[in-house]
Structure 1
């Protein structure tokens, strides 16, 4: 173990750092933060509900195209939310003066609370591994970093940044860049069989140019499985193009690692199915035993 707690007390849980592969240490230029660094913060108002928020009267609920289930998960009954087309406006104590974010219309916790560990992978650098069962639809983590414009991002490494907005007549590109300042999501690896999906949400304000990015479980995740996302075609096209100037090493690494990681993740998926079937069988036996007695 390299470190007992990567977050240094800034989160709701400890995040241990494990390396059984080589003697590589944590990136020295990385500083852990729990909230975005935004030099141009916005303040707006949310709903004005008194008491319990209700769908017919709550402005936050009405504006949200992403819905929350009664047990506090993203509603996946209609499929996975579209990153750019769908949004969540959750109630928050700083925005909603009536309910103060104490109602059921809130998905994200005050602090990161999933039990995970940062570990060194054989082929893909650092990765994040879950130490608990995570159910499909559960919020996992907010993507945290420096909030910058597309002009500022042009002078920064591209590989870690996530685009928050798209260019429209009323706004410019905004990125969240965790290269130097970020949280555990900075270390999520790519997979074509990813188990996390990004979504955009608004809590402490309602300014459309300054939202937040979160990740939720797109399927059930077993303890010991790596948390992965899909970097998207733009990321690979940009980085492979740059690598071609250096002899195409990234293209080669990507192809080799991609095949191996896909094989591992498919095996993990089969393990998950076996585990769920085992749980059903155990529950059935318990019921039969109670009925027999």
Structure 2
């Protein structure tokens, strides 16, 4: 690790080292637009291990072969004049969200009361006022509902309260070497319940390509640690042919952001949500990680790799099946023993 950092800090400012700098993890994360305010750092005080030299840090997902964005003529955004207009009128981005003024974690009367003295229903997934502004409402946080946001095609301003994931990561993250689970991730600041942490990014590939990579992997179940299906809106009866077929998948093994190194826990402090910008790109929705409880700085960040999967027929209960299963190392009180 010291050798890798020495190379970066002492030699990568010199001319003629472009190829070397391109493959340097420290140079890659320093190139992020958010580096000055919300840096990503890498630290190892456990052993001499370094990150896989073939891995590349990216700050946005990369479309693989056969994956295309929706044509511009089919993209739509809202025409709201401000954040209030988005929340309380007929914002196109919220067309699939039911009006709902209920919440279970705050006395929201003042929050919902308009400047005209009337009560108005909220449709944002986020709190919009006070200390909790920008955090997911508890009702959404406890669900598996998708999040619908305003986006780059919208007229509403950049400070619209419905652009949380759209504005990107606002938390400094540190990739660190754990004592027993390889690399992990933590934050150098406190994180509040409902706060957006970061997206899971990688190469977006077709289902066919994903299955091919599984087949080539030495241990197919190990490959599934990095593959996440964009299947939130898959529907065999959908009018959109892209949602009727097998979903695209995000492969973070060889290129991703720092969340690629987040470990699994059966009692996680984060949850992953499907975040939709333009409705025409539902098949390419984001995978956004939010804190499900307050997380003190320095605590390892985790999420449940198999969240939402029915394990009523848990093969881990069968000793014959256990030899082929991936053992869980989270050590939480409610650990299920095996991942899959």
What TM-score comes out, normalization by structure 2 length?
0.65
The CA deviation string for residues 43-92 of structure 1, in whole angstroms up to 9 with x for no partner, is 4112121234232222223434661111111111465131xxx2222112
Partner SS state of residue 147, structure 1: strand
> 1:145 maps to what in 2?
202
Shift of the 78–87 alpha-carbon distance from structure 1 to 2, 3 Å rule, reads closer
Q: In the alignment, which residue of structure 1 is the partner of 2:68?
A: 40
Distance 1:95 1:195 in 2: 33
1:5-84 mapped onto 2 (5 Å cutoff): 5=26, 7-12=29-34, 13-38=38-63, 39-42=67-70, 43=72, 44-52=75-83, 53-64=86-97, 67-70=125-128, 71-77=133-139, 80-82=142-144
Map Cα deviations across residues 7-46 of structure 1 (whole Å, 9 max, x no partner): 1321512222111111111111211110111241224112
- 2: distance between equivalents of 1:95 and 1:144? 21
> Alpha-carbon deviation of 1:131?
1.0
Give 1:108's match in structure 2, choosing from 153, 165, 188. 165
Supply the distance in 1 between the matched residues of 2:280 and 2:158 (Cα, whole angstroms).
Answer: 14
Q: Greater shift after overlay, 187-196 or 197-206?
A: 197-206
Among candidates 220, 228, 237, match of residue 162 of structure 1 = 228
Contact between 2:69 and 2:281, CA under 8 Å: does it hold in 1?
no
CA offset digits 1:136-185 (Å, max 9, x no partner): 00000011111112111012232201111154324221111111111011
Contact 1:143 1:185 in 2 (8 A): yes
Structure 1 unmatched runs, 5+: 266-293
> Any stretches of 5+ residues in structure 2 without a counterpart?
10-25, 99-123, 214-222, 336-340
Q: Residues 155, 107 of structure 1: CA spacing in aligned structure 2 closer, same or farther, 3 A cutoff?
A: same
CA distance in 2: counterparts of 1:62 and 1:175, whole angstroms: 26
CA contact (8 A) 2:185 2:261 kept: yes
Provide the rounded CA distance (Å) in 2 between the counterparts of 1:186 and 1:152.
19
Contact conserved, 1:160 with 1:178, CA < 8 A, in 2?
A: yes
**In structure 2, distance between residues paired with 1:187 and 1:41:** 27
Q: What is the Cα-based RMSD across aligned positions, in Å?
A: 3.2
1:249 CA drift (Å): 8.2
Contact 2:141–2:292 under 8 Å retained in 1? no
Structure 1 pair 138–179 and aligned structure 2 pair: CA distance change class (3 A): same
1:195 to 1:11, Cα distance in 2 relative to 1, 3 A: farther
Q: Is the 8 A contact 1:136 1:218 kept in 2?
A: yes
**Alpha-carbon separation, structure 1, partners of 2:164 and 2:140:** 18
Matched residue pairs, number? 251
Deviates more, 1:20-29 or 1:65-74: 65-74
**SS, match of residue 332 in structure 2:** helix
